[in-house]
Amino acid sequence: MDIEFNKNQDKMSLLISAMEKKLEKIYLGGGKTRIAKTHEQGKMTARERINFLIDKDSKTIEIGAFAGDDMYKEHGGCPAGGVVIVIAYVSGRQCIISANDATVKAGAWFPITGKKNLRAQEIAMENRLPIIYLVDSAGVYLPMQDEIFPDKEHFGRIFRNNAIMSGMGILQISAVMGSCVAGGAYLPIMSDEALIVDKTGSIFLAGSYLVKAAIGETIDNETLGGATTHCEISGVTDYKCKDDADCLTRIRNIFSKVGHFDKAGFNRIEAILPKKDENEIIGIIPYARDKQYDMHEIIARLVDNSDFEEFKETYGQSLLCGLARIDGWSVGIVANQRKVVKSKKGEMQFGGVIYSDSADKSARFIMNCNQKKIPLLFLQDVTGFMVGSRSEHGGIIKDGAKMVNAMANSVVPKFTVIIGNSYGAGNYAMCGKAFDPRLILAWPTAQIAVMGGAQAAKVLVQIEIASLKAKGEVITPEQETELFNKTKDRYDSQTSPYYAAAHLWVDAIINPLDTRKWISMGIEMANNAPITKAYNVGVIQT
């Protein structure tokens, strides 16, 4: 390996190590003291409950671990958004699990908590995945109620989705393992089955203090809405469990008896590991994001047997399109080529830029994958579409629209991995968050923004200087440099993958070596949802 490979490897290893250290802290939720208090109450933590529930030694992926990262500092923070969400296997059945973390503000719902729970339900609905709610929450976080309670995509949307999923026949099971109050009380009861843990679980629209204030009745919470009340008197819950372990074991027993439904029918054969060493991925991505590399080398280390059947190999080379398999699953790959290539006319094309011929090629390839019922994987490292008179006169807008149309109307599931840059319209065309990928992931090297930090800072500084000069102020070169650096630093912080993950613009930041697992489990979950509508690409100008 050359010196550049070693530099890249060292940089990526440091990024992965930093990510893992951040995760270790996030996994502690509200901290060791609150974890100990939870244990004193005879309860497991959210992560302990999930680990007990899922099949041992099975694959698991976590959605939104970085949600809320570096947010709500004035409220003490909200690690992982106060809720743990995983896609895992219970009694051999793939499902999604949402577990309130009561060590974080008693499991109260922050705005990001609501957004994260809605994402879990969206995944369940898109892929017809059974969903398990492990409920232990004090309800809406009152100091921020205006940001979580009243709007369309706020708290109430959870219950709307409960009803929609019920109508779709998607299994929902709730376990009340702690507090479940006010509007949140509807979630378990709108599920298909509800379990409650004796002495620690409770459900009521209003707790004992509020009942006393509202109607003058004196009653304790256990009598008001405990397990005995709801299993023997109200009939609100279906199973009374003696402790957390008993409750989780019963859920496993229920899942072991659930029948199977129709599948989408995506093609899968026996998996083969890549022929080229997967571990070399971390030495291929340049430590400097403006440097070139060959995306073929990344693909060869992601796909089975390193086999990539490339579509229109010598045409529109700034985008790579082709068929492959990942963990046995058939997949169509659309990837940005990051090295400079020569076009069919002998012109040089910049790496990471989408040209007219590339957009035209990818549109045709996406249509072909829909015809063949092959899931799509987008590997993003894109700076945007080519600009300038030659591109404009050549119809770049028309060809770009063709690509976006083909991608947006796709009926096969789409998955997106942001490897490096994800800028401007390139983010959109390569199936960014706005275009409903079933999962959208980022490597630690990802950068997501309208444009790169340096370019954006130059534009913003030029505007600022023009404004100051219009007021008669004189700007020295030193002041201009200081303003540029300050602006770039601020902008760069918002292009970080952690900023994106904190706001749930991506589902996870992952170790590049876990990419195959994420895509395989993603296609498996998508296979639960049969394709019910024909592919219609819409209006495309020729």
pLDDT tens per residue across span 192-203: 999 999 999 999
pLDDT band at 519 (very low <50, low <70, confident <90, very high): very high
Determine the pLDDT at residue 40.
96
The C-alpha atoms of residue 502 and residue 334 are separated, in whole angstroms, by 27
Q: Which helix (H) or strand (E) holds 448?
A: strand 447-449
**150 Cβ contact partners less than 8 Å away, ≥ 6 residues apart:** 156
Determine the pLDDT at residue 539.
59
DSSP for 148-202 reads TSSSTTSTHHHHHHHHHHHHHT--EEEEEEEEEEGGGGHHHHTSSEEEEETTT-E
Neighbours of 487 (CB within 10 A): 18
pLDDT band at 508 (very low <50, low <70, confident <90, very high): very high
Q: Tell me the percentage of the chain whose pLDDT exceeds 70.
A: 95
Q: Which helix (H) or strand (E) holds 382?
A: strand 376-382
**Beta partners for residue 89, in sequence order:** 94
pLDDT band at 456 (very low <50, low <70, confident <90, very high): low
**484 Cβ contact partners less than 8 Å away, ≥ 6 residues apart:** 457, 458, 461
Determine the pLDDT at residue 304.
98
Lowest-confidence pick of 218-232, 427-441, 454-468: 454-468
485-514 mean pLDDT: 90
The whole-chain average pLDDT of the chain stands at 92
Closest to 105 in 3D by CA, of 131, 132, 142, 71: 142
pLDDT > 80? residue 182: no
3-state class of 384 per DSSP? Answer: strand
pLDDT tens per residue across span 157-174: 999 999 999 999 999 999
pLDDT band at 485 (very low <50, low <70, confident <90, very high): confident
pLDDT band at 64 (very low <50, low <70, confident <90, very high): very high
Of residues 26 and 339, which shows the higher confidence score? 26
The C-alpha atoms of residue 288 and residue 300 are separated, in whole angstroms, by 22
pLDDT tens per residue across span 402-419: 999 999 999 999 999 999
pLDDT > 60? residue 432: yes
Closest to 539 in 3D by CA, of 409, 360, 430, 412: 409
Residues across the chain: 542
pTM given for the model: 0.93
13-17 mean pLDDT: 97
Of residues 439 and 349, which shows the higher confidence score? 439
pLDDT > 60? residue 457: yes
Rg (CA), the chain: 25
Of residues 139 and 488, which shows the higher confidence score? 139
8-14 mean pLDDT: 95
Determine the pLDDT at residue 337.
96
- 453-470 helix and 477-495 helix, angle to the nearest 10 degrees: 140
- 5: exposed, middle or buried (Cβ count in 10 Å: 0-12, 13-18, 19+): middle
Closest to 510 in 3D by CA, of 171, 63, 3: 63
Determine the pLDDT at residue 288.
82
pLDDT tens per residue across span 263-300: 999 999 999 999 999 999 999 999 887 789 999 999 99
Determine the pLDDT at residue 394.
65
pLDDT band at 538 (very low <50, low <70, confident <90, very high): low
Is 382:423 a contact under the CB 8 Å cutoff? Answer: yes
Is 421:381 a contact under the CB 8 Å cutoff? Answer: yes
The C-alpha atoms of residue 407 and residue 428 are separated, in whole angstroms, by 10
